[in-house]
Amino acid sequence: MSTPSLTHLMTGRARLGLTGMAAALLVAGCGQQAGETETAAAETPPIVQERQEGYKALGSSFKLINDQLKSGAPDMAQIAPAADRMNALAQQIPNWFPAGSGPQDGVETDALETVWTNPEGFSAAQQRLVETTAELQQLAAAGDAAALEAHVKVVGASCGGCHDDFRVEQ
Amino acid sequence: MSSDASSARVRVWDLPTRLVHWALAVLVLVAWLTGGERMDIHRYAGYGILGLVVFRLYWGVAGGSTARFSEFVKGPGTVLAYVRGWRAAPSSFGHNPLGALSVLLLVILLISQIGLGLFAVDVDGLESGPLARFITFETGRKAADLHELNFRLLQAAIVLHLVAIAAYALFKRRNLVGPMVTGRDATAGLEGELRPAPLWRLALGVVIAVLVVVLIARAG
């Protein structure tokens, strides 16, 4: 089985509704923030951009799952592929943090230096996300909405746990 | 305080205005402390603030006279004249022309804070406002960033509000907190009269506020 490409994994993001685009324009129109992003993107190394896109795709897929679960009538046909994307992205995380791409190298990033100084801890946190998203896939395939609702909190905790130690505090 | 002075205490703020004020103070504090930590409580605090602000806007056109925007919001000329003669300015009945701007500022910042919170999404994509499902993850993240930024502005406005209250106590010997608690003001030489709103208007306002909160909470 070949590894799905990142672009393929991010197709979920293409489902950008009209409302979303209008709201995006509105928010982008608020100046400072949009300007900052543009400058940062111009100087950001490709691998950092790739990992930022990867994490956005992770968050986007997880949001889709949570939106579905909150809707009261979750659509497993949407949840299952989103869970697949999350698991595949989680497996790619080790490729996103090569030497020279941290804040200690002068790169503008929300990743903490601990990603590189504590590789065992980071790897364990990444492995945890792979495992929790694998279970997410199984529950989605089984179509068990109640179990999914309980399990998204576990997945969320594996995001948050890693963010606590390896990402700039929000 | 002598019995003469207390008998001169006049009604300034009606009960709904005072309740909304103190409930907002408590819920904004709760929302602040629970934001990013206990999102279940944060969400309910937000719904509470939404209901209070909707009610306060309604009360600003339908409530007791001192709560009405048309009664206390003054033009720039009046505000400027008030600021210039601040030390000698006679005590206002209800909001003074400068305090009126503070009320408007706080209400506007609360509205934008609620609006952004309804669409905000956390960094993991787990927690989100009730209307966030209508927008993308990235737009929701921007809403969350602006929710954070707007909160700093709200904090600054609240500090300004507290500093102003201290300044009135210190330089003008005016107690503004007591009347907001009891509804009655003992300041000498107050000219004005609170014309309270009938009870049915209060009931209507509560119904409107609850409806708005329920509709928005259910949309998510």
Predicted confidence (pLDDT) at residue A27 exceeds the cutoff of 50? no
Per the CB < 8 Å rule, is A24 touching B138? Answer: yes
Mean pLDDT rounded to a whole number for chain B: 92
Per the CB < 8 Å rule, is B124 touching A156? Answer: yes
pLDDT at position B5, please?
A: 45
pLDDT at position B2, please?
A: 42
Per the CB < 8 Å rule, is B135 touching A23? Answer: yes
For residues B211 and A164, the model is more confident at B211
Please give, rounded to a whole number of angstroms, the shortest distance from the CA of B6 to a CA of chain A.
51
Domains in chain B: boundaries: 9-219
pLDDT at position B19, please?
A: 97
- Alpha-carbon distance values, B17 to B8, B49, B59, B158 (Å): 22, 14, 8, 18
Please give, rounded to a whole number of angstroms, the shortest distance from the CA of B107 to a CA of chain A.
20
What is the average per-residue pLDDT within A101-125? 91
Picking from B168, B123, B179, B197, the residue whose alpha carbon sits closest to that of residue B11 is B179
Give the pLDDT band (50/70/90) at residue B191.
confident
Q: Quote the crossing angle between the two packed helices A46-70 and A76-92, to the nearest 10°.
A: 150
A38 contact partners, CB below 8 Å, separation of at least 6: none
Cα–Cα distance for residue pair A155/A115, rounded to 1 Å: 20
Q: Model confidence over B125-159: pLDDT tens digits? A: 999 999 999 999 999 999 999 999 999 999 999 99
Cα–Cα distance for residue pair B48/B213, rounded to 1 Å: 8
Domains in chain A: boundaries: 14-43, 45-166
pLDDT at position A11, please?
A: 44
Residues B182 and B12 sit within 8 Å (Cβ to Cβ): no
Using CA coordinates, name the residue in chain B closest to A71: B220
Cα–Cα distance for residue pair B146/A24, rounded to 1 Å: 13
Predicted confidence (pLDDT) at residue A161 exceeds the cutoff of 70? yes
pLDDT at position A23, please?
A: 46
Residue type, A37: T
Please give, rounded to a whole number of angstroms, the shortest distance from the CA of B160 to a CA of chain A.
25
Q: Model confidence over B39-91: pLDDT tens digits? A: 999 999 999 999 999 999 999 999 999 999 999 999 999 999 998 988 888 88
Cα–Cα distance for residue pair A72/B131, rounded to 1 Å: 15
Predicted confidence (pLDDT) at residue A170 exceeds the cutoff of 80? no
Residue A167 bridge partners (DSSP): A111
Per the CB < 8 Å rule, is B137 touching A56? Answer: yes
B8 contact partners, CB below 8 Å, separation of at least 6: B186, B188
In chain A the beta strands, taken as DSSP E runs, fall at none
Per the CB < 8 Å rule, is B119 touching A23? Answer: yes
Predicted confidence (pLDDT) at residue A154 exceeds the cutoff of 80? yes
Per the CB < 8 Å rule, is A153 touching B128? Answer: no
**For residue A123, how many other CB atoms are within 10 A of its CB?**
13
Using CA coordinates, name the residue in chain A closest to B123: A59
For residues A162 and A4, the model is more confident at A162
For residues B117 and B92, the model is more confident at B117
Cα–Cα distance for residue pair B107/B99, rounded to 1 Å: 12
| Residues in chain B within 8 Å Cβ distance of A56 | 137-138
Per the CB < 8 Å rule, is A70 touching B220? Answer: yes
DSSP for chain B reads --HHHHHT-EE-S-HHHHHHHHHHHHHHHHHHHHTTT-HHHHHHHHHHHHHHHHHHHHHHHHS-GGG-HHHH---HHHHHHHHHTTTTPPPPSSS-HHHHHHHHHHHHHHHHHHHHHHH-B-TTSS-B-TTGGGS-HHHHHHHHHHHHHHHHHHHHHHHHHHHHHHHHHHHS----HHHHHHSEE--TT------PPPHHHHHHHHHHHHHHHHHHHHH-
Q: Model confidence over A72-94: pLDDT tens digits? A: 899 999 999 999 999 999 999 99
State the Cα angle at A152 between A138 and A95, rounded to 5°.
75
Assess B127–A contact: CB distance below 8 Å, yes or no: yes
Percent of chain B at pLDDT > 70 equals 96
Q: Model confidence over A41-64: pLDDT tens digits? A: 447 888 999 999 999 999 999 999
Assess B38–A contact: CB distance below 8 Å, yes or no: no
pLDDT at position B187, please?
A: 86
| Residues in chain A within 8 Å Cβ distance of B125 | 58-63, 66, 159
Assess A124–B contact: CB distance below 8 Å, yes or no: no
Q: Model confidence over A28-39: pLDDT tens digits? A: 444 444 444 444
Predicted confidence (pLDDT) at residue A4 exceeds the cutoff of 90? no
CATH T-level fold of A45-166: Four Helix Bundle (Hemerythrin (Met), subunit A) (1.20.120)
Give the torsion sign (CA, B26, B32, B37, B38): positive
Per the CB < 8 Å rule, is B123 touching A70? Answer: no
For residues A147 and A19, the model is more confident at A147
Predicted confidence (pLDDT) at residue A114 exceeds the cutoff of 90? yes
Mean pLDDT rounded to a whole number for chain A: 80
Q: What are phi and psi for residue B184, nearest 5 degrees?
A: -115, 145
Q: Model confidence over B161-175: pLDDT tens digits? A: 999 999 999 998 899
Per the CB < 8 Å rule, is B125 touching A13? Answer: no
pLDDT at position B193, please?
A: 87
Using CA coordinates, name the residue in chain B closest to A59: B125
B7 contact partners, CB below 8 Å, separation of at least 6: none
Assess B119–A contact: CB distance below 8 Å, yes or no: yes
CATH code at B9-219: 1.20.950.20
Closest partner residue to A163 (CB to CB) among B123, B141, B142 is B123
Residue type, B60: G
Percent of chain B at pLDDT > 90 equals 79
Assess A153–B contact: CB distance below 8 Å, yes or no: yes
